[in-house]
Structure 1
Amino acid sequence: DVPTDDAAVSLKVTNYPATGTLSLPDRTLSPESSLTVGEVEGLRYEPQIGAGTPVEIAFEIRADSGASKPAKMKLSPSVDPCDLAAGEPLDLQGVVPGLLPNEIGADAVKLCEAAVKAYPDVARFRYELGRALLAAGKVDQARK
């Protein structure tokens, strides 16, 4: 019941996830952060490595015209198939435990090409595509 047409409405994070990162396209949120109703669609949760269970985020809806109301949102993390197929064990931005080069399967190239196409600004997918190409013996393509 959030009034989406009211620019004076904001949401304050009151229950931040115990692990992982909550963010918007332009900034990382912290406990007690505020966001506008229009920004809710861009809300993103990046789980800690190995954590795949849903998390519940609580907000306080604030409006100039009245008292605040509580609201909850359940976020279910999903891991891109490219991460699962060619993730690097020592990647500081990795979201999976990762695979050694000899563990990368033949389908990793196709999966990572799809991830790079869907998320061109995520450098991790480009790196994982390079790992997949190298594992497939396509050294020149991997280098690029």
Structure 2
Amino acid sequence: MTNFAPCLCSGFFDRGSRLSAALSADWALAAALQLRLRSLSVPGISLLSTLHGSLMSPETFLQEFSEILEIEVSEISLETKLSDLSIWDSINVLGYMMMVDEKAGRQVDPDSVKNAETVGDLYNLAVG
């Protein structure tokens, strides 16, 4: 019986090593695939974002954006000028950036948000 235990342990550790090596290879493959997907794109659409299900329609964007501003979606359109929205402030800018990160899987450059003139400009930043 005492000779059997070392064999079990040895087999366990061998399997553990093989499992560890397989998992490491899988993580490396996943990282390489993610990098490759980031480099593939259709004009205006990130393939990686599409695979994550984050391609956002204008209607969905307006709904999400109106929730950030705490207004009715009927009060805004893609043509609405941000300067006409008295509630467009730094807190809502942060809410917008968090929404884009969460829903579209994208990081938006703060300077681009600052330079946006319309809600449509913000939509274009969100969908890339």
TM-score (norm 2): 0.29
Which has more helix, going by share of residues? 2
Q: Which of 1 and 2 has higher RCO (CA within 8 Å, sep 6+)?
A: 2
Q: Identify, as 1 or 2, the structure richer in strand.
A: 1
